[in-house]
Amino acid sequence: MTDKEILRQLATEYMEIATLAKQKETMNLIKAFNRKDKVRPIVTIFQLPWNELVAGDEFLKLKCENKFLRNNVEMFFRREIYRWNNYQTDMPLEPVLKIPYAVNNTGYGLKIEQKILATDPNNSVKSHAFINQFEDFEDLDKIKEMKITLNEKLSVENKDLVENLIGDIIPIHQEGGANIRTAFWDILAEMMSVEEIYYQLIDQPEFLHALMDRLTNSALAGIKQMNELKLAAVSNNYCHCSPIYTDELLPDFVSTKEPLSYNTWACAMAQLFTSTSPAVTEEFEIPYISKIAKEFGMFYYGCCERLDDRLDIVQKIPNLRKVSCSPWSDKEKFAQNLDPKIIMSVKPTPAYLAMPDFDSELIRKDLIQTCEIAKSYGLNVELLLKDVSTLKNDPTRLTRWAKIAMEVVNNY
């Protein structure tokens, strides 16, 4: 089959699903949830071991010759259709194909130096030993001011290419592409190593402040350029795996807002601070990330770190709407300390999908407990399954997990 034949077949199958009334109903449920109406919890599933899933299903194997089409169109269709057919949660299939502008972002001018070990070369989850690139203040100049440029010619060519192939089957919407990364402590961990950062918190705290200042200013420069070029992805329907349809910013599948940062979401995290005191978060994270959060309409904070012991600090972040409650947090304390105006974004442990045997009752008990805790404190809670590094080569575990989760929330 040609690329055109492949994509037309996939687009047709996708639109048959995306035009179902169920998709709009789910979007409206998410909007009600995000406005903090008293509705049931929301469930999503992200960040999967696609190497295992692809190996076990011919449908997921990419076949297009054109790289842009393969990575931006074919992969999207195949994964969305697969998801619908195998694990339906609260992730609507939108009746539109969103593709990015052709944008070059220089980032922070840094390149990771590392050693990698892997038990499975096809798995994106590997062991990394990062080499420190920041020894002293002279190394601050390695962090460059972010430069964002738009390739208008290539952007038009990409959109025309897709529209000529499948534009009569599915609407094509183009936006975004700047992709500004604001997880500063993840970046520094990759450039220094977590261990080195811990030493510097004690030995040279002023050096870490200088690094954070440089990263923050670089990101702010990037955000300014993104806004000047009108490249904000205002129709993104997820932020850090959390569904973000809202009355204010994204009331439908495609936004009509001007593509500026103030009309969309951003997120940040400081995962390595799980092993530090809340005072470290207050001094080394909040002042910097607050400058970033001010530039966006709404903000999501946290990832895998523990936050139940420092929510009073985290809740100082401007425009904060959702906070991550990872498996490392005490859910009872988290719910007790969270402002009811903010959504409790729970990350159920993916470890239960990686055990030798799939324990349905263990999963059910954990999800019920989570929902009951949130309900007792008057919180809206979402269940975002992510960071799934293995399913023990058993894709049915996703189907079973999704079925359990939806049963739990529908009985909420």
Average pLDDT over every residue of 231-245: 98
Name the region of 30 (left: φ>0; alpha: ψ -120 to 50; beta: rest): alpha
**pLDDT tens track for 212-226:** 999 999 999 999 999
Q: How do 343-346 and 381-385 pair as beta strands?
A: parallel
* pLDDT at residue 118, rounded to an integer: 78
* pLDDT at residue 267, rounded to an integer: 98
* pLDDT at residue 198, rounded to an integer: 98
Average pLDDT over every residue of 199-221: 98
Domain spans, the chain: 3-410
Residue 87 CB coordination number (10 Å): 23
Q: Assign 3-class secondary structure to 36-48.
A: CCCCCCEEEECCC
- Which of the four pLDDT bands, split at 50, 70 and 90, describes residue 113? confident
Secondary-structure class of domain 3-410 per CATH: alpha beta
Q: Which helix (H) or strand (E) holds 163?
A: helix 152-166
| Encoded amino acid at 348, one letter | P
* pLDDT at residue 120, rounded to an integer: 77
**pLDDT tens track for 33-91:** 999 999 999 999 999 999 999 998 999 999 999 999 999 999 999 999 999 999 999 99
- Which of the four pLDDT bands, split at 50, 70 and 90, describes residue 384? very high
Average pLDDT over every residue of 263-274: 98
Placement of tokens 């990263």 in the chain: 215
Provide the token pair at 180. 């500004």
Q: CA-CA distance, 401 to 364, in Å (whole number)?
A: 9
Q: CA-CA distance, 324 to 334, in Å (whole number)?
A: 10
* pLDDT at residue 362, rounded to an integer: 98
Instruction: Kindly tell me if the per-residue pLDDT of 124 is higher than 80.
Output: no
Distance (Å) of CA 56 to CA 128, 334, 396: 27, 39, 11
**pLDDT tens track for 270-318:** 999 999 999 999 999 999 999 999 999 999 999 999 999 999 999 999 9
Range with the poorest average pLDDT among 16-25, 100-109, 125-134:
125-134
Q: Assign 3-class secondary structure to 222-277.
A: HHHHHHHCCCCCCCCCEECCEECCECCCECCCCCCCCCCHHHCEEEECCHHHHHCC
Q: CA-CA distance, 321 to 323, in Å (whole number)?
A: 7
Average pLDDT over every residue of 319-330: 98
Report the sign of the C-alpha dihedral through residues 208, 213, 216, 221, in that order.
negative
203 burial via Cβ count (<10 Å: 0-12, 13-18, 19+): exposed
**pLDDT tens track for 364-379:** 999 999 999 999 999 9
- Which of the four pLDDT bands, split at 50, 70 and 90, describes residue 148? very high
Average pLDDT over every residue of 264-275: 98
Q: Which of 352, 390, 356 is nearest to 123 (CA)?
A: 390
* pLDDT at residue 126, rounded to an integer: 78
The pTM of the full predicted model, rounded to 2 decimals, is: 0.96
Provide the token pair at 269. 């995290």
Q: CA-CA distance, 370 to 379, in Å (whole number)?
A: 11
Instruction: Kindly tell me if the per-residue pLDDT of 189 is higher than 90.
Output: yes
Average pLDDT over every residue of 8-12: 99
Mean pLDDT across the chain, nearest whole number? 97
